[in-house]
Amino acid sequence: MSLSIFLLQLIIIIIASRLAGIAVKRIGQPVVMGEIIAGIALGPSLFGHFFPAASDTIFPASSLGNLQMLSQVGLILFMFVIGMELDLKLIKNKVRSALIVSYASIIIPFAMGMALAWLLAGDFLPAGVPLYAFALFMGIAMSITAFPVLARVIRERAMSHTRVGIISITAAALNDVMGWCLLAFVIALSRAEGLHTPFYTLGGTLLYMAIMLFIVRPFLKRLAERKVNLTIIRQSTMAVIFIILLLSSLSCELLGIHALFGAFMTGIVMPLQWNFRKLIIDKIEDVALVLLLPLFFVLTGLRTEIGLVNTSYLWSICILITLVAIAGKFGGSYFAARYAGETKADSLGIGILMNTRGLMELIILNIGYDLGILSPQVFTMLVIMALATTLMTNPVLNLLNRFSKKVA
């Protein structure tokens, strides 16, 4: 692939992402939804369908490998930022209600997703893929909550200090940690070959997490204490942090889980001093979110062909998947919140927010697609489900607000 084509791709991707982000923001949706829609629009579902020759010229198949590698770097930086944005003190303050909601919003949709996979296996299980791997992955796809999108929705709606907002964001944070640990286990199972067994991966993962918590974390804490009064971070300090980030990601990839889990874990073990974390986030967030992350959306869009869902049967399966996802995530969160003692209105708000999937769902779906666990048809239907459940969040919250003043 020539450099000119690569640069043209970057220009088109950034412009399309920004314009779509501005457009959806005007109708009350988070910017990230516009970026996701832009990625799908640039793929075979729209641009490639109506202008196939231009699509093949701008996004030739030979260029996708380079785009994928660069997008993975963007995802590593993004997951690092997400890990740093988790407020562990907030989790401690609302731990009871958040734990109940988080566990229920994982367990119930996970079980429903596995049951759904068993029903769909006859028509949609890829050749050579064990049923348990497909079922476990469908369970994860049903149970994930998009922490970054949820955080944006809560912030934009000024719900950060409300009971609904605090419990939802805390439960989503716990949900992310549990979801990624579960995903790591499923990837280990699906990749198991010879000595590279799930038990080897599990043991290696436990050792890795011990090193991150008891060696890397104290080291980074001492590093932050030396820099805590500074308003800038030197390049030498950033170099150390990037090396730790990349080594962590590499370790997880070699263990057979995924580099993104290593990036997420590195963000979690960063020192709790928010000014230190914020300085790092400010240095990398724009590059990760504006330049690199849209590449991931476009790659997802190039893999998502709405035309694959082209019969009434396939659309009925797509609707079934969406309904199961909503019932499991919204229903599980709602009933768990009620059990924890929350009011009916607050429980509805928590259920609506926890049903948000967005970017995190797309990351997990792409991992499943790369591993061959998801067929192109199932991948497309799950992407549609992710879009539907995320797009409905703000409108349904607005409807709830009309009937109850208890949700801010």
Phi first, then psi: what are they for 5, rounded to 5°? -65, -40
Structural domain for 267, as ranges = 79-286+311-403
In a domain, 294, yes or no: no
CATH number at residue 137: 1.20.1530.20
In a domain, 20, yes or no: no
In a domain, 216, yes or no: yes
In a domain, 90, yes or no: yes
- d(CA 262, CA 102) in angstroms, rounded, equals 22
Picking from 160, 115, 150, the residue whose alpha carbon sits closest to that of residue 135 is 115
Q: Decide if 183 contacts 140 (C-beta within 8 A).
A: yes
Q: Tell the residue number behind the tokens 């958040």, with chain if given.
A: 98
In a domain, 100, yes or no: yes
Number of domains in the chain: 1
Reading the block at residue 99, the tokens are: 């734990």
Q: Global pTM?
A: 0.80
In a domain, 171, yes or no: yes
pLDDT tens, N- to C-terminus, the chain (408 residues): 588 888 998 899 989 988 998 998 888 787 778 888 888 889 888 888 889 899 888 888 888 888 888 888 988 998 888 788 766 665 565 567 778 888 898 899 999 999 999 999 989 999 888 898 899 999 999 988 877 778 777 767 777 667 888 788 778 877 877 777 788 777 777 765 544 456 677 788 889 989 999 999 999 988 887 765 566 778 888 899 999 999 999 998 888 777 888 888 899 899 877 678 888 888 888 888 788 888 888 888 888 888 889 899 999 999 999 999 999 999 999 999 998 888 888 899 999 999 988 777 888 898 899 888 999 999 999 999 998 998 898 889 888 888 765 444
Picking from 30, 108, 123, 173, the residue whose alpha carbon sits closest to that of residue 325 is 108
In a domain, 41, yes or no: no
In a domain, 220, yes or no: yes
Reading the block at residue 87, the tokens are: 């407020």
